A and B are shown apart, each in its own frame.
Chain A
Amino acid sequence: MMLLPILMAVYAAEDDTSLAARMQRRDPQALAELYDRYGRVTFSLIVRVVRDAGIAEDLVQETFLRVWNRVHGFDAQKGSLGPWLLAVARNRAIDYLRTAGGRDRQLREFEEPEPARYCDMEKDILSSDNARRVKSAVEKLSSEQRQVIELAYFEGLSQAEMAERMGQPLGTVKTWVRAALKNLREELGAVVPA
């Protein structure tokens, strides 16, 4: 589990707001600090997806460069870079999987995450208590539910692809996916306030 590094990163001495502002002023040291804060988490996420350390490092580099090049679209007053960075990282990794596997890109959500929509995200959710709750919430899912969440999140499969992979009817897979997401939403209701 990588929740603790996320928490440590988020509650580092300098918050993401000032870090983003410094990156917008093109301060290279801010990029270094961003890497120090999120590099390990980002790498862990990507290597979980692509399962190759060398490729994962290339994708981590692409991720940080993409954030560096697009940080002007980030709202530094409200923003926190972590979730945006992780979304970019996940997309880069799944893009790679799709390209390497010859799959067509079908999921609109995997288009470039817009930084302005990742404002102020982790302030309410990233605490050690909540980290334990996330872990607990995932563990409470049934094996099928956990499997479809992992296939969707870490491999970027569509529901039809999951059905094919699992040898299950599409309707069954959709039921598992909706149930899993509902359970996560309910379990994490306090973590992710309305």
Chain B
Amino acid sequence: MNCIELREHYELYAIGVADELERSEIRAHLNRECEVCMQGIKRAREVMALLGGTAPPAAPSAGLRRRILASVGVEQHRFGWAPFLAAALALALFAAVYFGGRERDLANELARVREQNSQQTIELTAVNQAFAILTGADTTVTTFGDGQAQPKGKVFVSRSQGVLLIAGNLQPAPSGKAYEMWIVKDGKAKAAGMFQSAPDGSAMHIQRGTVENADAVAVTLENEAGADQPTSTPLFAARIRALAQ
């Protein structure tokens, strides 16, 4: 069949209903790249392509695109949600850091207040102890270092309450050192606690407990760990036996 005879069959061929004879002839023309038939079939296919567009509109599921791309090895990210997720994550991180920081600040502040409260409690206890010694019925007082540039102050001794030392001109102890108070009886020194002086040279130290027949109260400079016996010459000493009795 020639091209003119086949012309009426191009659309039939394109839509798929051409009879076997015409279909074979058209295929033969196409296979030998017959320009007339190729052009005719092309136009017929254009009509068919347009017919495809007359189908009622329908939408595939959102996952189909990802499925197709995954089948050729493309890992698809769900960009639609990614910015929102990233923003939410960033916000969560910011909130965690912010509130975490706030929590740390509050915790630090609470610790500081607790420390301050504890310190005040200690100081109040010391004051109460000092007051108990000062007001004790059996308390005696000894002054030492009067008229000297060296340490001076008072020692309050209560047989039932303990010893209260209040000193001035007592330079802050060197690094690693601390002052240690001794209660001397019969030529033997008994350790009575470590203490430090304030930057202005003042110091207060209390040794709670009964004090029986003490001869003197002395203070030496010792290592911070303390010593069982004095290792240096006393900075000052106050005789108390005669006064206490």
Q: CB within 8 Å of B: which residues of A?
A: 1-3, 5-6, 28-29, 31-32, 35-36, 39-41, 43-45, 47-48, 53, 56-57, 60-61, 64-65, 68, 82-83, 86-87, 89-90, 94, 107-110, 117-119, 121-122, 124-126, 130-131, 134-135, 138, 149, 152-154, 156-159, 162, 177-178, 181-182, 184-185, 188, 191-194
Contact = CB atoms under 8 A, between A and B. Distances in A.
Contact of A152 (B16, B57, B64, B74): B16
Contacts of A158: 16-17
Given A109-B13, A131-B53, A156-B16, 12 more contacts: A35-B65, A47-B58, A48-B56, A53-B60, A56-B60, A57-B60, A107-B17, A119-B42, A152-B17, A177-B12, A181-B12, A191-B46
A29 B73 CA distance: 11
B177 interface: no
Contacts of A122: 46, 49
A155 to B, nearest CB: 10
B38 A41 contact: no
B49 A138 contact: no
Contacts of A154: 55
Interface in B1-60: 8, 11-18, 23-24, 27, 30, 38-39, 41-43, 45-60
B82 interface: no
- Lowest 9 CB-CB distances: which A-B pairs, in order? A48-B55, A83-B49, A181-B11, A28-B74, A109-B16, A43-B60, A107-B16, A86-B52, A3-B53
Dominant secondary structure at the B interface: helix
B72 interface: yes
Query: Contact size class for B?
Result: 35 or more
Dominant secondary structure at the A interface: helix
Interface string B60-97: 11001101110111101000000000000000000000
Contacts of B68: 31, 35, 60-61, 64-65
6 contacts: A2-B53, A35-B69, A36-B65, A43-B58, A109-B15, A192-B47
Contacts of B45: 83, 87, 117-118, 121
